[in-house]
Amino acid sequence: MYKIQYNEKQIRLMHTYLEGHLPKSDNSCMIVHYTGNPKIILNCLDKIEKNTDLQKLYLLSRDVKQLKKDFSSLFRIVPAAGGLVLNERGKVLLIYRRGRWDLPKGKIEDMETKKDAAKREVMEETGLSDVKIIKKLTVTYHIYRGQNSRRRILKPSHWYLMYAKDQSVSPQLEEDIDHVEWTTLSEKYVQSVHPIFINIKDVLWSYIRLLA
């Protein structure tokens, strides 16, 4: 299964055998069987973008890898990378950007590896002078429209668990980051933190699951 965030709405690419576990189609939820014609996907994207009531779209196929390939072909792909940073006290570094809690991340530059991009973005956005990558955490996906462009963009964000010793932090103001904060992460915190993008919550949950 692949989960994609589109503004505040959710898209799932899933195998047809999971259909029995899904809610019934209604004004807020649409279930579509993909038959191999990408125009079906485009029609669904138009509907979820324009219909304010529609919040969830499930695209089902017997070949989810092909569905993902056809889905991705409709977008300009802009890969990004970022990190969930721990310190020696077990606290996690969060940033507050444009009115939402977030994690440091950014676009992968040409000739840059995912890991190098993740470290660079974390250090630039938080002021940390040194971070070490522990392991890959997860990949999230979200859709947006580019500036002065009608074409939709799909951004896969590659997330890494990192470690940094206690050191001074400072927000990257030119990236609209208001402040940086070390936070004790728990299930209760993840459930209650607001406002925050669902994709960022998914990254936090991926770390919580490591602790279980």
Q: What confidence score (pLDDT) does residue 155 get? A: 97
How far is residue 171's CA from residue 173's CA, in Å, rounded to a whole number? Answer: 6
Residues 59 and 38 in one domain: yes
Residues 83 and 66 in one domain: no
> Do residues 57 and 23 make contact, with C-beta atoms less than 8 angstroms apart?
no
Token representation of residue 167: 């050191």
How far is residue 14's CA from residue 58's CA, in Å, rounded to a whole number? Answer: 7
Q: Could you tell me whether strands 80-86 and 29-33 are parallel, antiparallel, or unpaired per DSSP bridges? A: unpaired
Q: Which of residues 52, 72, 92 is at a domain's end?
A: 72
Query: pLDDT truncated to tens, each residue of the chain (212 aa)?
Result: 999 999 889 999 999 999 999 998 899 999 999 999 999 999 999 999 999 999 999 999 999 999 999 999 999 999 999 999 999 999 999 999 999 999 999 999 999 999 999 999 999 999 999 999 999 999 999 999 877 767 899 999 999 999 999 888 999 999 999 999 999 999 999 999 999 999 999 999 999 999 88
Residues 44 and 83 in one domain: no
Residues 106 and 48 in one domain: no
- HEC string of the chain equals CEEEEECCEEEEEEEHHHHHHCCCCECCEEEEECCCCHHHHHHHHHHHHHCCCCCEEEEEECCHHHHHHHHHCCCEECCEEEEEEECCCCCEEEEEECCEEECCEEECCCCCCHHHHHHHHHHHHHCCCCCEEEEEEEEEEEEEECCCCCCEEEEEEEEEEEECCCCCCCCCHHHCEEEEEEECCCHHHHHHCCCECHHHHHHHHHHHHHHC
Residues in a beta bridge with 12: 3, 58
Question: In 10 A of CB 120, how many CB atoms?
Answer: 17
Residues 66 and 94 in one domain: no
Residues 122 and 147 in one domain: yes
Domain hosting 35: range is: 2-72
Among the listed residues 78, 80, 92, the one whose alpha carbon sits nearest the alpha carbon of residue 126: 92
Residue range 13-60, pLDDT digits in tens: 999 999 999 998 899 999 999 999 999 999 999 999 999 999 999 999
Between the alpha carbon of residue 156 and those of residues 42, 80, 108, 159, 161, the distances in Å are 19, 6, 10, 10, 17
Domain count for the chain: 2
Token representation of residue 107: 């676009």
Residues 105 and 35 in one domain: no
Q: Is the dihedral of CA 69, 74, 79, 82 positive or negative?
A: negative
Q: Which of residues 72, 90, 124 is at a domain's end?
A: 72
Residue range 42-54, pLDDT digits in tens: 999 999 999 999 9
Cβ contacts of 136 within 8 Å, gap of 6 or more: 158, 159, 160, 161
Residue at 208: amino acid letter: I
